[in-house]
Structure 1
Amino acid sequence: MIGIVVVSHSAALAAAAVALAEEMVHGSGPVVAVAAGAAGGFGTDATEVSAALARAASPDGVLVLMDLGSAVLSSELALELSSPTHPVRLSSAPLVEGLVAAVVRAAGGADLETVAREAEAALLPKATALAEHGLSAAPAPALVAVPGASVRLTLVNPQGLHARPAAQIATAVGALAAEVAVEAGGRRADAASSLELMTLAAGQGTEITVSATGADAEQAIATVSELVLAGFGELEAS
C-alpha cells in the first residue's frame, strides 16, 4: 500500500484533514505522515517534510499533498535532501478533498498513479453538484452498459451515497479482481472511486444498478449488496 504525506502551514488544519480522511476507512487505510506548522507556528520546513517522507516510506510509493505555495517549495527541497529510493509524487490535488480521495483509494490497494489521479480529480463531485444547479459547468458522466453480473438495489440509509458509504464501497471493491460500476439516474460511476460514486447524487430511496465483470464479479455484487442492504451501518437499531 502506498504512503501519504500531508504538508501544511497549519498543524491544526493538517490534523483535522487527516482525521476526516481516516474516518472514511476506520483505521484500515495507508500510513499518513504529517509535516505541518514549522517551529510550532505557521509555515513549512523541508527537514520536517523529509522526516515525514521517511515515516510514510513504502516500496509502492508515496503521494505528497500540500496546501499553499511554500509547501511545494519545502517538499521539493525535502526530496533533494532525502533522495528516497521509492517513487514519490508531489500532487497538485486540493488538500482536504484530495486527501480523503487518496486515503480511500489507497485503502483499496490502488497503485500510486491511480491514487494520484483520484486525488487530483477530487473537486469533481463539487463541480458536478454545482453544475446541476446552473452554478458551474461540468459534463455529466455518460451511461455505459456493462455486461456481466448485476443487481438492482434501493438505498435505505438516510443520506444515500454520501462520503462515508461511497468510501465503504470503494474500499471494498478496490481490493477485488473485478471492474464494478454503479448506475443511478442515467449516470454511471466506477465503484472503486468514492468521488465518482458521490457524483451520482443518489439519496435515500434511489434505485441503483450494480454491475461487475472479472474473476471476483459475483463477490463484488454480494459485497456491495450487503453494504447497501445493511444501510452502511447507518440504520437505527429497532
Structure 2
Amino acid sequence: MLNDLPRHKGQRNKLVKLLITKGIRQPEVLKAIGKIPRHLFMDSSFEDFAYQDKAFPIAAGQTISQPYTVAFQSELLQVKPGMKVLEIGTGSGYQASVLHEMGCKVHSIERQKELFDITRQTMRKLGYYFDMKFGDGFAGLPSFAPFERIIVTCGAPKIPEKLLAQMSIGARMVIPVGEGSQVMKLVIRDADGSFSVEDFGDFRFVPMLGSKNV
C-alpha cells in the first residue's frame, strides 16, 4: 500500500498554486505535478519537505530537481499525448513520471548504475512504466530515434551532436548548458533540418556524466 495520504495531496495542491505564481501555466503540467506523489521518489527522511519548491539529495550523489525546474522544462517541451520523448538523466524518475502522466512515450537513460537500479524498482512500485536504459546519455538512443522531444536533466558542457542527430523535423530539445551553472536552452529542428536555439535563463544542475566527446 503506497503511503499517499490526504495531507500529501493537500501539500501538492499548495505546490501547484505556488508554481502558478511563478509563471507555470500549462494545465497538463500542473495536473501531473498535482497528481504525482513526489515524496515517494525521495528518502523518507525528506518526506516532510517533499512539496517545498527545492531540490533534494537522492542516491549516488544526485538530486531530485526542484519542482519549478521540472515544470519549466516540461512546459518548454510543449509535449502532446503519444509523443516519443528521450530523457537524458533518469535520476529519481520524477521528471519522466511527469511526462508519462502527460501521455508521452518516454525513453530514459541513467548513467549511475546504483541510481538506475533503485529508480527502476521505485517506478515498478508506483506503477509508472516507461523504458529505462542504463547507459551514456551523451550518445542518446540511436536505435529508438528519431525523437519528437528530448529533455536533458543534467548540466551539459555543450549540446551533444549525437542528440541533435536523433531529433526529428520539428522536434524540440530542452537542455541546460554550461559548467557550474547552466543556461536553459531550447533547440528546435527546423523544416530544412537546421537548428535554432533560444535561451531561457540560468539554472543549476548536477553535471552530465559519460563520454563527452560525442
Query: Which structure is higher in RCO with an 8 Å CA cutoff and minimum separation 6?
Result: 1
> TM-score, structure 2 length as denominator?
0.31
Q: Which has the higher strand share?
A: 2
The structure with the largest alpha-carbon Rg is 1
> TM-score, structure 1 length as denominator?
0.29
